[in-house]
Amino acid sequence: MSAPIVEMKNVKKTYRQGKIDVQALRGLDLQVQPGEFVAICGPSGSGKTTALNLIGALDKPTSGSITVEGKELSAMSRRQLSQMRRDRIGFVFQAYNLIPVLTAFENAEAVMALQGGSASERKQTVMKLLEEVGLKGMENRRPHELSGGQQQRVAIARAIASGPAVVLADEPTANVDSETAEKLLDIMVKLNRDHGVTFIFSTHDPRVMEHARRIVSLVDGVVQSDETKA
What is residue 96's predicted lDDT score, i.e. its pLDDT? 86
Q: Is the pTM of this model over 0.95?
A: no
pLDDT band at 88 (very low <50, low <70, confident <90, very high): very high
**Is a pLDDT exceeding 90 seen at residue 56?**
yes
> Is 141 in a helix, a strand, or coil?
coil
DSSP label of 65: E
The Cα 162–Cα 138 span in angstroms is 20
Judge whether 165 and 68 are in contact, CB under 8 Å.
Answer: yes
What is residue 144's predicted lDDT score, i.e. its pLDDT? 96
Nearest 5°: phi and psi at 165? -80, -30
Give the tens place of pLDDT for each residue, 1-51.
679 999 999 999 999 888 899 899 999 999 999 999 999 999 888 999 999
Q: Is 140 exposed, middle or buried (0-12, 13-18, 19+ CB in 10 A)?
A: exposed
The Cα 201–Cα 64 span in angstroms is 21
Judge whether 54 and 61 are in contact, CB under 8 Å.
Answer: yes
Give the tens place of pLDDT for each residue, 193-230.
988 899 999 998 898 999 999 999 999 999 999 999 87
CA angle 211, 84, 112 (to 5 degrees): 80
Give the tens place of pLDDT for each residue, 112-134.
989 988 999 999 999 999 998 89
The fraction of the chain above a pLDDT of 90, given in percent, is 73
Give the tens place of pLDDT for each residue, 130-186.
998 899 999 999 999 999 999 999 999 999 998 999 999 999 888 888 888 888 899
The CATH classification of domain 34-61+74-228, taken from the options 3.50.50.60, 3.40.50.300, 3.80.10.10, 1.20.1560.10 = 3.40.50.300
The Cα 213–Cα 116 span in angstroms is 34
Distances 21 to 8, 16, 28, 98 between C-alpha atoms, Å:
22, 5, 18, 33
